[in-house]
């Protein structure tokens, strides 16, 4: 079989004031044709798994285009149309194919298009016809609608958060989609349920009941595959909410119903527990041994935030607490560059992207590191990928080391500190601008974890005013809703 492989990937925070452009995709992950194979072969990625799965079956791969950008604001319409148009052009140039495998996120939003993921699959479907199977991988945070489910022949969703099974899902998509008889029929169950990333970790106690039910669904005789997507709370979309998928005929229908019911029954355990900023210094002083990981969930770079929130930096400075904090601030990096290595830094840091993440903080200290920083991911998340932090500086105020970056960098690997000369194990406190994915790298060295109640566009506490397109009623915005209550279907 000739198997086309490609896709585009973006998790869109509709509250972010940035616009995601083609240059953002090109700066993060962009490859087409032979470069796609060179970039992703052997990596823990969906594309890497698809390449492996196709090769294991003895199939010929036809690499198209894959582009991904760091989570951010809505995608510029012209950018999306260019990515889609180029993908379709490469598909047409390749000639007839027997199957298509696409890596998508499932929570993308484009200017004027609420569900570009389904539009992407629908366009590919129109190009190849109804008889060519299309297998799709999606992120665990996908907001899945019926259009996407109906356009794809098969969908496989990450089963882990932090996401460590990306290649496995790519291999599964290849195996099921390329089976001699093609993918079996599937069923989709949409839940009127929104949860924030903080409570979605698949190994946490709050998700234990749901994950047991998920394991039961996977083990059900006759079920070829099942998926649970918990959704992305920060994409205001008609498809927002948790979704259950199962493939395998009548057995899959029963398994999907049981899993959906089990997830719904666990909803009371899916509310976050936070430490107020005013209580944080005392909580840290109670046990001075480190490293203590302080989570800044509302400035979650992996959720589309700017990474320049200052609430925790200001708190640590005021309390005289040491450790490491990463702040995205190209202007401050330039100030540090002017001061020079070993020079005195005196300037305003952070909170420059918007007014939702605190206020700029006056920082005085010594410039202890300058240069361009990058690292190769060695954690279980995106293993093998090179992450470029751009021009960086480390300004030390006593024992508090402020890492200033010119590029937003997700804290999915300890390289975010080691690349600028800091030893993670030596820090009494490490602030991570992330919800859960930081655990792939920092959990092994963390002695304690505190989740702070910080301001930002990835709030841990959801409010109805953040949404205009979400079907209502939906939990927890409407706490008295019943699972069987009539509600709009996306």
In the chain, % of residues over pLDDT 70: 99
Q: What is the DSSP letter of 111?
A: T
Q: What is the pLDDT of residues 87-111, one digit of tens each?
A: 999 999 999 999 999 999 999 999 9
**Residue 15, pLDDT score:** 96
**Residue 488, pLDDT score:** 44
**Residue 288, pLDDT score:** 64
- Mean pLDDT score, 122-130: 98
| Residue 397 neighbours by CB under 8 Å, 6+ apart | 317, 363, 364, 365
- Mean pLDDT score, 156-168: 96
Residue 308 has pLDDT above 90, yes or no: yes
Q: What is the pLDDT of residues 373-394, one digit of tens each?
A: 999 988 877 778 889 999 999 9
Quick one: pLDDT band at residue 287, thresholds 50, 70, 90? confident
**Residue 149, pLDDT score:** 98
**Residue 485, pLDDT score:** 58
Residue 437 has pLDDT above 70, yes or no: yes
Residue 280 has pLDDT above 80, yes or no: yes
| Distance (Å, whole) CA 252 – CA 246 | 5
3-state SS assignment for residue 122: helix
Per DSSP, the chain holds a count of helices (H) and strands (E) of: 14, 17
This prediction has a pTM of 0.92
Average pLDDT, the chain: 96
Q: What is the pLDDT of residues 251-260, one digit of tens each?
A: 999 999 999 9
The token pair at 343 is: 């020079």
In the chain, % of residues over pLDDT 90: 94
Backbone angles phi, psi at 292, to 5 degrees: -100, 125
């Amino acid at each position: 079989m000739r198997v086309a492989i490609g896709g585009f990937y973006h998790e869109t925070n509709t509250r972010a004031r940035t616009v995601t452009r083609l240059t953002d995709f090109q700066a993060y992950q962009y490859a087409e044709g032979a470069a796609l194979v060179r970039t992703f072969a052997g990596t823990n990625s969906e594309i890497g798994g698809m390449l492996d799965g196709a090769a294991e079956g003895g199939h010929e791969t036809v690499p198209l285009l894959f582009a991904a950008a760091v989570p951010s604001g809505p995608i510029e319409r012209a950018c999306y149309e260019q990515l889609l148009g180029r993908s379709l052009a490469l598909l047409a140039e390749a000639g007839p194919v027997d199957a298509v495998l696409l890596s998508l996120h499932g929570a993308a939003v484009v200017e004027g298009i609420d569900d570009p993921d389904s539009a992407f699959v629908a366009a590919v479907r129109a190009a190849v016809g109804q008889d060519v199977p299309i297998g799709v991988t999606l992120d665990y945070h996908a907001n899945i609608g019926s259009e996407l489910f109906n356009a794809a022949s098969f969908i496989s969703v990450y089963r882990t958060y932090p996401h460590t099974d990306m290649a496995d899902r790519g291999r599964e998509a290849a195996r099921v989609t390329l089976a001699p008889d093609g993918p079996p029929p599937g069923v989709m169950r949409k839940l009127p349920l929104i949860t924030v990333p903080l409570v979605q970790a698949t190994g946490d106690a709050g998700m234990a009941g749901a994950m047991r039910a998920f394991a039961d669904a996977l083990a059900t005789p006759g079920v070829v595959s099942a998926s649970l997507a918990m959704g992305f709370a920060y994409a205001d979309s008609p498809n927002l909410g948790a979704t259950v998928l199962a493939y395998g005929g009548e057995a899959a229908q029963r398994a999907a119903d049981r899993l959906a019911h089990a997830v719904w029954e666990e909803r009371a355990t899916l509310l976050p527990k936070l430490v107020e900023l005013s209580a944080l210094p005392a909580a840290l002083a109670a046990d001075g041994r480190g490293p203590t990981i302080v989570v800044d969930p509302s400035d979650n770079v992996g959720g589309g935030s700017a990474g320049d929130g200052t609430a925790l930096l200001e708190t640590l400075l005021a309390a005289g607490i040491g450790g490491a904090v990463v702040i995205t601030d190209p202007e401050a990096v330039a100030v540090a560059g002017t001061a020079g290595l070993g020079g005195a830094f005196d300037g305003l840091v952070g909170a420059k992207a918007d007014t939702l993440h605190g206020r700029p903080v006056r920082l005085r200290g010594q410039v202890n590191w300058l240069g361009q920083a990058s690292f190769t991911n060695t954690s279980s998340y995106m293993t093998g990928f090179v992450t470029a932090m751009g021009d960086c500086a480390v300004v030390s105020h006593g024992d508090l080391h402020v890492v200033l970056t010119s590029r937003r960098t997700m804290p999915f690997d300890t390289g975010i500190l080691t690349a600028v000369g800091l030893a993670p194990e030596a820090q009494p406190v490490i602030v991570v601008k992330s919800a859960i994915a930081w655990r792939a790298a920092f959990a092994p060295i963390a002695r304690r974890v505190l989740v702070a109640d910080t301001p930002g566009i990835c709030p841990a506490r959801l409010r109805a005013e953040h949404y205009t397109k979400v079907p209502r009623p939906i939990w927890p915005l409407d706490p008295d809703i019943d699972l069987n209550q009539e509600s709009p279907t996306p």
